[in-house]
Structure 1
């Protein structure tokens, strides 16, 4: 007798093969049989008539490392069909830790700054009662709704070995050896690989470079080489992304892959019709690596992500010259400063400076009010700063700040994203390119800046149903078997006999993402962006319901994925 029988559904199995009517039987958390199983005995039966039955979606780039301690569901990703996540990306992990409390405090502040997680939330929600990566993984084992694996982060390794000097200088040979030994300990415990960043946007709470950015090429390659000794490991890296890669970054990523003899994925490759040429140039990093015996793959977001800016957090805005002095003030002082005409004039001068690295976010006329929290201000939602300025007889910047001050700084605003059919066509070409993998959600990070945790349902709703640039079978494979194969996940990403029973039951006619809104449920009461899904009837992990009709169950059915046990080594060719 089967434990569970899913009958009457249309199977899209994740391989890219044509859909077909088929029942799915589950026993001992795995797929026991697929076919016409009507009338077979089972302890429980789910009627999936009129629905698609697909493998659970796999999100390779998340930052759920901290959230896992206060939210074991890892919401909202499972609402959007995600059953497996990988954390510990960008070199930003909260393990290992040293015995020096200053190092843990530094990593907490760094994570708050660079990943946009409120500091109070981290301090209240994360116990930090481990030292090694092994202890960190053990703390999470058996506690989560979904399957989760974690990388070992370069910045944490550097801080543990070098202390405060990790921010100041190159490591000695002895220090590199110590980092390699610490990384090996983490990989031996089951971490999935090594992650690092050289991105110039990755700065710590004091405004300086995060530790991994201080590392030399030799240090990075030495750490990558450690992965060669551990089966089932991978590399993840954040280069400084401009219109194209310079030779230094091209050569570094190729050399990292060759040193480790493992695939390297880099984040992130956005694509529109207007940037298709830039995307093609960046994908060439994969060809460059292949010629040198490595494998480099871009993670690409399947939609344009609208930035939701806020003077409350000040994230990104504080990179404008002179703005950090105001945006890092205590709340009440900042509120008074932003109401002061002289302060506003100084901020405008900084935004107009030739040194402003973000001119695309200071086009005040085009900024639209996205969300307010004072009911008296609801009339301004959806209106542009230019409209409000014309109505009030002031400038767009003043009109925007008048709303922000009246809303106690909580207002979110941004530029309206307009997408064309040609944008989706350009993206589909990249999705099909073997040098790219759909992903890059950043779920669990940048909690008030942007929402891309729902990329799975957006892909199916817009890429498949609305624009038709890919088939449903292609879309499901891009969310399942393709990422599973990049990380060598064993028994996941396809619904075949013997595979883990990670399953999504969805309605292809209605699957999609609901509106993005702010939800105040973080430790300490801070808010985060959130969106429910539509058309996702049920999500199962190991044959156990974790989401039913858009609601989480109490089940904690996820596996803590361990490198070499739950992953296999992926060939470079």
Structure 2
């Protein structure tokens, strides 16, 4: 299971957003982001986009783009457990505007790099209490990411950091989880599930895979789009803070968030027995 809702990120650089299928947007979609933002700030373009109807071929995309009660500004720092009053629909009602107007302005924040958050699963009640109940179940195991297949709209690579930052330290909308339990979720419990019994414990003979963390400084930047895949392909990344060192097989692979050049990892083709 995941430690936060299965969610989609919508922005001018992501796979789609609420205006992506509008004819007026399609006319400028090929432009570099700064030029697109400049065009979208033009009152005439804004008026046309707000008056047009989208030409979606996928009903699910139209559903997401118009579910304003479940669409939230992600923010920086990002908020994955936003209250109902932070939704686009609630904000539009407070301000006497249409949801489309609110979305339009939100997408142009941060020079067009702001993102909207659509919690698709595990957020029916508008909080993390159902997720907490599952995390506390003795058979629960963390996992679940479809980001490799949908790297332009999903970014779950930050989940391990998020578990420590939010569930252990920052959550205010409900009970938190203990540090020891969250660490165990992401170490020994996962190792046992996959039969990698030589890791996940600090004990003689076990693999020395460690993260040295400054828990007070631990945090996540807002997701961002980079174009570093083959042929300039797009993907979402989210940079963490607060990792003093990452040690794999006893060798430091990252120090203060920067790679050291050490690469002691190897391909695992099956279960590994316990050293004791």
Tell me the TM-score normalized by structure 2.
0.65
2:198 counterpart SS class: coil
Aligned to 1:451: 155
Kept in 1: contact 2:188–2:200 (CA 8 A): yes
Aligned to 1:280: none
Structure 1 residue 563 displacement after superposition: 1.9
Matched, 1:500 2:207: yes
**Where does structure 2 lack aligned partners over 5 or more consecutive residues?**
40-44, 76-85
Matched, 1:474 2:162: no
Kindly provide the CA deviation profile for residues 44-88 of structure 1, in whole angstroms up to 9, marking residues without a partner as x. Answer: xxxxxxxxxxxxxxxxxxxxxxxxxxxxxxxxxxxxxxxxxxxxx
**Where does structure 1 lack aligned partners over 5 or more consecutive residues?**
1-299, 372-381, 569-573
1:452 counterpart SS class: coil
Q: Cα gap change, 1:448/1:509 in structure 2, threshold over 3 Å: closer, same or farther? A: same
Q: Cα gap change, 1:316/1:301 in structure 2, threshold over 3 Å: closer, same or farther? A: farther
Q: 1:309 aligns with which of 10, 17, 34?
A: 10
Aligned to 2:137: 433
Matched, 1:536 2:243: yes
The 5 A counterparts of 1:33-432 are: 300-304=1-5, 306-310=7-11, 312-315=13-16, 323=21, 331-332=29-30, 341=48, 345-347=52-54, 359-364=63-68, 367=71, 395-397=98-100, 400-401=103-104, 411-415=113-117, 423-432=127-136
Q: 1:464 aligns with which of 161, 168, 171?
A: 168
1:347 counterpart SS class: coil
Kept in 2: contact 1:487–1:567 (CA 8 A): no
Kindly provide the CA deviation profile for residues 198-236 of structure 1, in whole angstroms up to 9, marking residues without a partner as x. Answer: xxxxxxxxxxxxxxxxxxxxxxxxxxxxxxxxxxxxxxx
Rounded to whole Å, the distance in 1 between the matches of 2:256 and 2:163 is 20
Rounded to whole Å, the distance in 2 between the matches of 1:310 and 1:395 is 19
Aligned residues: 244
Kindly provide the CA deviation profile for residues 132-187 of structure 1, in whole angstroms up to 9, marking residues without a partner as x. Answer: xxxxxxxxxxxxxxxxxxxxxxxxxxxxxxxxxxxxxxxxxxxxxxxxxxxxxxxx
Rounded to whole Å, the distance in 2 between the matches of 1:517 and 1:314 is 13
Matched, 1:511 2:212: no
Matched, 1:489 2:196: yes
Q: Cα gap change, 1:313/1:431 in structure 2, threshold over 3 Å: closer, same or farther? A: closer
* Structure with max Cα Rg: 1
Rounded to whole Å, the distance in 2 between the matches of 1:560 and 1:329 is 46
Kept in 2: contact 1:306–1:414 (CA 8 A): no
Structure 1 residue 554 displacement after superposition: 0.9
Kept in 2: contact 1:507–1:535 (CA 8 A): yes
Q: Cα gap change, 1:345/1:329 in structure 2, threshold over 3 Å: closer, same or farther? A: closer
Structure 1 residue 362 displacement after superposition: 1.2
Kept in 1: contact 2:9–2:118 (CA 8 A): no
Rounded to whole Å, the distance in 2 between the matches of 1:441 and 1:449 is 12
**Cα RMSD, aligned residues only:** 4.7
Rounded to whole Å, the distance in 1 between the matches of 2:132 and 2:190 is 16
Rounded to whole Å, the distance in 1 between the matches of 2:221 and 2:127 is 21
Rounded to whole Å, the distance in 2 between the matches of 1:360 and 1:317 is 8
